[in-house]
Structure 1
Amino acid sequence: MPSCKALFLPEGISDHYPTKVVLNEEYKTKKGFQFCNVWTKHSKFLPIVQEGWKAHIEDGMMYQVVRKLKLLKKKLRVLHVEEFQNIVSEANANRGKLKHAQMQLQRYPYSIDCQQRDS
């Protein structure tokens, strides 16, 4: 069992104390599947979904659904790598830039530099 510690945070508006558990060891886990809405606008998306959903799988209905979703996930990951490799990291970087620009505007609301900055 890895060593860990629990942090008890302020209760806020609730009568419960939120608890944050911090593990001191790093675990390598497989990154979870993350669906990107922009995929739906790509010309290959609908054919991939249709092909994946038409796959013939023998077994119970729930197993068929789970198996089809797993197959579909693999094909969507390939689409992501081919067409949208860095979209999530770029979006996160842009969110960070936006947050920084908003903080600068709050600090210096009359600064023309802050108001006209592109990046």
Structure 2
Amino acid sequence: MLLLGFGQDWIECSPTPYGEIHFPTTQVHVLPAGVSDHPPLFVTVTDVHPPRKRFSYLNCWEAHEEYGIRVREAWDTPVRGNAMYSLFSKLKQVRQKLTVLHKHSYSRISEKVREAQQHLHDCHSCLQGNPLDPDLIVKERDLLHAYLVLKKAEHSSLLQRAKVQSIKFNDAPTSYYFSRIASRKHQGIIGKLKDRQGMDRDGVSAVNQAFVEYYQWLLGKHSPVDTSLIDILEGPRFPASGCEEICKDIDDKEIKIALFSIAPNKSPGQDGFSAQFFKTNWDIIKK
């Protein structure tokens, strides 16, 4: 833990027990101590807007009784436009419906697991005093089922988000797994870099502009291709007899083989849908 003092104000720069970082854009540089026994600290505080939460498909949603209905409703929504526009529009509809499903049933899943466990514990306490009560027996069975469903959903969500294969079903959601999730969220954030001239670029806009300028310098501008060099190139060439084979239309079987070869938790695009979503709902979305 690192505490920075400014008069009566203190800033905590260490992660919380659950991996949250209070000041992710604050940078601290330790300067030489000189003649003092306390090195001065140079603190840079960048005021940025928190990034919008990115949609990520969770496999535990598939166990919900309304999952298939919501996906079918979204996919059957008529859309005008070409095939690509229709695909992304329907994926957007699915994302909205699954987000609502997550908020109603899976948000704060760890708290719901603890509440279900407490209800089950209270029911067991009542059963010890009256073990033959039929109402308590039925209630205990229902509470146990609800607890196991929530526990399984929590385990699946934690395993998928943390990318840690060592999580067991009975493991408690310790701070280690939450810290892994928090560190993964910040892996794709570049808050500062040096451009080609060695100047520091701070902030999202400045970093984006630095990337654009670099690749404009690297790739250059559009220029016509000199086709006179093509005839003098030597080496193996693709036979003319095979051109028809590689130019033929792609059939449905090839598409399915390519898609189902992707690992379930890998995302083929930037929309947050993993390959698991397409595999589970292939009968609905394949057309």
TM superposition score category, shorter chain reference: 0.5 to 0.7
Other-structure match for 1:105:
none
Which residue is 1:11 aligned to?
none
Aligned residues: 81
**More divergent stretch after superposition (85-94 vs 54-63):** 85-94
Counterpart for residue 79 of structure 2: 57
Cα pair distance change 1:73/1:88, threshold 3 Å? farther
Q: Give, in whole Å, the separation in 1 of the partners of 2:86 and 2:72.
A: 15
Paired residue type of 1:94: P
Q: CA deviation at 1:26?
A: 2.4
Partner of 1:79: 101
- In structure 2, the residue matched to 1:47 is 69
Provide the residue aligned with 1:117 in structure 2: none
Q: Which residue in 2 is equivalent to 1:94?
A: 173
* Unmatched tracts of structure 1, length 5 or more: 6-22, 100-119
Shift of residue 51, structure 1, vs aligned partner: 1.0
TM-score when normalising by structure 1: 0.55
Alpha-carbon shift at residue 87 of structure 1 (Å): 2.9
Q: Which residue of 1 aligns with 2:123?
A: none
Q: Which string of whole-angstrom CA distances, capped at 9 and with x for unpartnered residues, describes residues 12-57 of structure 1?
A: xxxxxxxxxxx93322321100111110011100111111111100
Q: Distance in 2 between matches of 1:30 and 1:98?
A: 22
Change (3 A) 1:72 1:4: same
| TM-score when normalising by structure 2 | 0.25
Distance 1:57 1:40, change over 3 A: same
Find the structure with the greater CA-based Rg.
Answer: 2
Structure 1 counterpart of 2:81, which letter? D
The Cα RMSD (Å) is 3.3
Shift of 1:98: 7.0
> d(CA) in 2 for partners of 1:79 and 1:73?
10
What is the rounded CA distance, in whole Å, between the counterparts of 2:110 and 2:68 in structure 1? 21
Instruction: Please give the secondary structure, in 2, of the residue aligned with 1:94.
Output: coil
Q: Which residue of 1 aligns with 2:57?
A: 35
- 1:35 is paired with a residue whose SS is coil
Q: Unaligned regions of 5+ residues in structure 2, if any?
A: 1-24, 28-44, 112-153, 163-171, 179-287
* CA distance 1:27–1:71, change in 2 (3 Å): same
SS of 2:173's equivalent?
helix
Q: Note the C-alpha offset of 1:65.
A: 0.5
* Alpha-carbon separation, structure 2, partners of 1:97 and 1:86: 18
Superposed CA offset, 1:52-109 (max 9, x none):
111100101100010111111111010001111113897478042679xxxxxxxxxx
The share of aligned pairs that are identical, in percent, is 26
Distance in 2 between residues matched to 1:33 and 1:88, nearest whole Å? 19
Alignment correspondent of 1:17: none
Q: What amino acid does structure 2 have at the position aligned with 1:54? A: D
